[in-house]
């Protein structure tokens, strides 16, 4: 029995020392699963032309402020500068934060930003789009169905981001390059 415990401890102590692999794997999975998801979602919010990044589309307002757009009779001229600022920030976040995570630059801060983004996205879906009344979409934890869009999937999204907050970007990242450069200057 002691031999088995020693073998177990030897193998898993080496694995637990490979924290850089966990961050790298988390970033790889984020890029493989979410980079294009958020990029395409951000593209739906851009206005026309090159300066569309500063002029959100109708869809951007409808996605982020569905009730306010409806209350305004779908007339975007009634949206306030507050609405525009939130829509622009959300749109830019859908491009900037996933790219930062993918390249491993300011990964922990970007992951915290993405957690906040997903929380806001979820609240918008539940309250703004009225998904809260759709039990199958919302789902529940500790049930037999692991595929609900809100409770199950978004919990896993956030868990992946929490790994990045706690472990960092991993071995192959710009964060590591910056950390080495900074420690060399000291």
Q: Which domain holds residue 81?
A: 23-185
Residue 75 lies in a domain: yes
Q: Is the pLDDT of residue 2 over 90?
A: no
pLDDT of 72 reads 93
Residue 139 lies in a domain: yes
Q: Could you give the number of structural domains in the chain?
A: 1
As a whole number, mean pLDDT of residues 5-25 equals 82
Residue 178 lies in a domain: yes
Residue 6 lies in a domain: no
Residue 5 lies in a domain: no
Place 82 in a pLDDT band, splitting at 50, 70 and 90. Answer: very high
Residue 70 lies in a domain: yes
Burial class from Cβ neighbours inside 10 Å (0-12, 13-18, 19+) for residue 155 reads middle
Hunting for tokens 């960092």 — which residue is that? Answer: 168
How far is the C-alpha of 67 from the C-alpha of 89, rounded, in Å? 19
- Kindly give the residue spans of alpha helices, DSSP state H, lying in the chain: 2-16, 19-30, 36-43, 58-64, 66-71, 81-103, 107-123, 135-138, 151-167, 174-185
How far is the C-alpha of 94 from the C-alpha of 45, rounded, in Å? 10
pLDDT of 186 reads 66
As a whole number, mean pLDDT of residues 140-151 equals 86
Residue 77 lies in a domain: yes
Assess contact for 23 and 168: CB atoms under 8 A. Answer: yes
How far is the C-alpha of 27 from the C-alpha of 133, rounded, in Å? 34
Residue 127 lies in a domain: yes
Q: By percentage, how much of the chain surpasses pLDDT 70? A: 99
Place 167 in a pLDDT band, splitting at 50, 70 and 90. Answer: very high
As a whole number, mean pLDDT of residues 24-50 equals 95
Q: Is the pLDDT of residue 16 over 80?
A: no
Q: Is the pLDDT of residue 176 over 70?
A: yes
pLDDT digits (tens, 9 = 90+) for 85-141: 999 999 999 999 999 999 999 999 999 999 999 999 999 999 998 888 888 888 888
- Mean pLDDT (the chain) is 92
pLDDT of 81 reads 95
């Amino acid at each position: 029995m002691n031999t088995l415990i020693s073998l177990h401890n030897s193998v898993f102590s080496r694995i637990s020392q490979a924290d850089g692999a966990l961050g790298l794997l988390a970033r790889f999975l984020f890029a493989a699963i979410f980079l294009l998801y958020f990029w395409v979602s951000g593209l739906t919010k851009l206005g026309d032309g090159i300066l569309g990044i500063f002029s959100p589309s109708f869809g951007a307002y409808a996605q982020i402020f569905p009730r306010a757009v409806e209350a305004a009779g779908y007339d975007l001229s009634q949206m306030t500068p507050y609405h525009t600022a939130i829509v622009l920030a959300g749109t830019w976040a859908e491009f900037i934060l996933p790219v930062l995570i993918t390249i491993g630059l300011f990964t922990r801060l970007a992951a915290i930003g993405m957690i906040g983004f997903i929380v806001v996205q979820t609240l918008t879906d539940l309250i703004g789009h009225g998904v809260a009344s759709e039990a199958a979409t919302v789902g529940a934890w500790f049930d037999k169905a692991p595929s609900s869009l809100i409770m199950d999937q978004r919990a896993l999204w956030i868990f992946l981001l929490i790994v990045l907050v706690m472990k960092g970007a991993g071995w192959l990242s710009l964060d590591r390059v910056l950390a080495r450069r900074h420690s060399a200057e000291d």
